[in-house]
Amino acid sequence: MKVLRLWLLVVFVAMPLGSIAKDFGTDFSRGSSQMKVPHRHNTTAEAATRADGVLTMTVHAGMHGASSDQKNGKERAEYGVRLNDKDVVVRQSFRVRAVSGFPTKTRTMIAQIKFSDTPRGTGSPPVAVYMSESGAAKCNGYGSGQAKADHRRLKGVKLDDGQWHDVMMEVVLSDTNGTCRVFVDGRKVIEQTGLDTHQNGKELMARIGLYRDAMATTQVVQFDDWKVSSSR
Ligand SMILES: [Ca+2]
């Protein structure tokens, strides 16, 4: 009876945590059950192929991953890793390469860390990286006077040059003292501190893939060595 109770305790404690990755990594040599499609329509199934240990995402016009995408003029195909919603420090890194469909000025996000189902006005992620503008990044604060996102083209970075690049993004989620940092090829390219970075949404995820303003061009981007970690 004691053993049974212990087992029940183990199952009870383990179950809610089972689907939450705090330390995730893949070299894309095989699939992973922790990679989720973070939007309603599975455009990712059509866009994503995995071969020779590399993830290739091919996004074309009309790939409306979320219900609101058609109305809002967005197209997307992403993967996300679910994190513990109470975690505070979140890091995501990956290698990325533009194969075709670049350069373009039309905005194309390739990675973000964000909560779903956020209150009005806080839907834009606290940290995001773009392949458009030859490489751009964004840090968001939601406090008063922080509403204007710091979105900038990254000087000295050419993310769309067809070569592999290392990207690392980091966010500390806090109502008062949040931070946001992005590194490209080991160099810090954007940093904001003292922000309200907390979106107060529902499900925290780190995401890669393409999220873009609608365009006729087909874009092909490759990803490798995706790592996500989070902690309190
Ligand atoms: Ca690989």
Residues in the 5 Å CB sphere of ion ligand 1: 27-28, 53, 224
Distance between Cα 222 and ligand 1 center (Å)? 10
Pairing mode, if any, of strands 178-184 and 187-195?
antiparallel
Higher confidence at residue 10 or residue 160?
A: 160
% of the chain residues with pLDDT over 90: 84
Give residue 5's pLDDT: 61
Q: Cα–Cα distance between 80 and 14 in angstroms, integer?
A: 21
Give residue 4's pLDDT: 57
Distance between Cα 167 and ligand 1 center (Å)? 15
- H or E element that contains 73: none
Q: What 8-state DSSP symbol labels residue 132? A: G
Give residue 18's pLDDT: 46
Give residue 6's pLDDT: 56
Does residue 115 carry a pLDDT above 80? yes
**Confidence grade of residue 14 (pLDDT, cut at 50, 70, 90):** very low
Please state the domain extents for the chain: 20-231
User: Which residue matches tokens 């979320």?
Assistant: 66
Q: Which CATH number fits domain 20-231: 1.10.1420.10, 2.60.120.200, 3.30.70.60, 1.10.1060.10?
A: 2.60.120.200
Give residue 150's pLDDT: 84
Give residue 22's pLDDT: 82
Distance between Cα 27 and ligand 1 center (Å)? 4
**Mean pLDDT confidence for 41-69:** 97
Distance between Cα 179 and ligand 1 center (Å)? 30
Give residue 119's pLDDT: 93
Does residue 109 carry a pLDDT above 70? yes
